Amino acid sequence: MPMVLKAAVQLGVLEIIQRAGPGALLSLSQIASQVPNFRIKLLDSHSILTFSLETKNQEDGRVVRLYGLAPVAKYFIRNPDGGSLATLLDLYQDRAFIDIWAHGMSAVEYVGKEASFGEIFKGSMIDYNNMFVEEM
């Protein structure tokens, strides 16, 4: 699930639904037209997205699944102050973060040794703090 959420954030799936307006529900084809070849059903199974079934054509009974944002999705969309938990997904999915234990050091210590990891770490901490400064 974390990799699917990371992909959704990187591909802008949550923003696509957000741009459609408050309470918007989009079909998979509407989302996929902007993000081709993406598996979105896993996001609704983990309550990142909601879904609703709608009968599109009363004559043939064709049902379309429409997707919207679940309340938790707002934390993965950049807020007006620049805060988002999305960059934490980059941090937690980074190969260096996964392998830090093998180096026998903390993430903070490893930041000094690996510049690219340092940038991911710094960005995720800034975005995390911006997310909750607004709340205070």
Q: List, in order, residues 6 or more apart from 95 with CB less than 8 Å away.
A: none
What pLDDT is attached to residue 5?
82
In this predicted model, which residue has the larger pLDDT, 125 or 4? 125
What pLDDT is attached to residue 27?
87
Max mean pLDDT among 32-36, 53-57, 65-69 falls in 65-69
Q: List, in order, residues 6 or more apart from 49 with CB less than 8 Å away.
A: 17, 40, 43, 67, 68, 69, 70, 73
The pLDDT-based confidence of 136 (bands split at 50, 70, 90) is low
**pTM across the whole model:** 0.60
Over range 52-80, report the average pLDDT: 85
